[in-house]
Amino acid sequence: MSTVAAPAIERPAPDEHAPYYSRYIDLVPEGDVLDLLDRQAQDTVGFLRGIPIHLHDHRYAEGKWSVKEVIGHLADTERVFAYRALRFARGDRTELAGFDENAYTPAGEFGLREFESLVEEWLNVRRASLSLFRSLTPEQARRRGLANGQEISVRAIAFIAAGHIIHHTAILRERYLGES
């Protein structure tokens, strides 16, 4: 069986997302975002599995998430992004509500989970997201919808997902592991 390469997803224009999301999109290097999302799957898992056990429940400051909670947040957020992308790619014009990560994270009770189960969950969610993004036609990737009162394109969501991981792995490295 032959496979056809997925068409590249072009970088979104600034009018395809709320200005807030530029903080993630701007972190994404030039190149194929699908390749980046794929590489991030293995790179991020390798990085997370390298975090010492004694830091899994570590918080770098009072009121901040633990390492486990950060990973749970990554999985939750990726799921929300993929759901939005699916709905909008399919032409669904129903406005979607926002989500409050500061409410989701404590409700996820990630501190009660085994660290490896959180890593595996994120990896599985990323694989599913990647499968969705690879299935899109250029037209589907350009489609837009409303989420949290803001218009956003499917391709912007792919770039946000990639940048969100870059953002949080940098925080884990700097604030939790003390790397510079």
pLDDT tens track for 11-25: 999 999 999 999 999
Residue 60: pLDDT over 80: yes
Query: How far is the CA of 174 from the CAs of 70, 77, 168, 169, 170, in angstroms?
Result: 14, 21, 10, 9, 6
pTM given for the model: 0.95
Q: In this structure, how many other beta carbons lie within 10 angstroms of the beta carbon of residue 55?
A: 16
pLDDT tens track for 80-136: 999 999 999 999 999 999 999 999 999 999 999 999 999 999 999 999 999 999 999
Mind listing the domains of the chain with CATH numbers? 36-176 (1.20.120.450)
Rounded-to-integer distance, Cα 180 and Cα 165, Å = 17
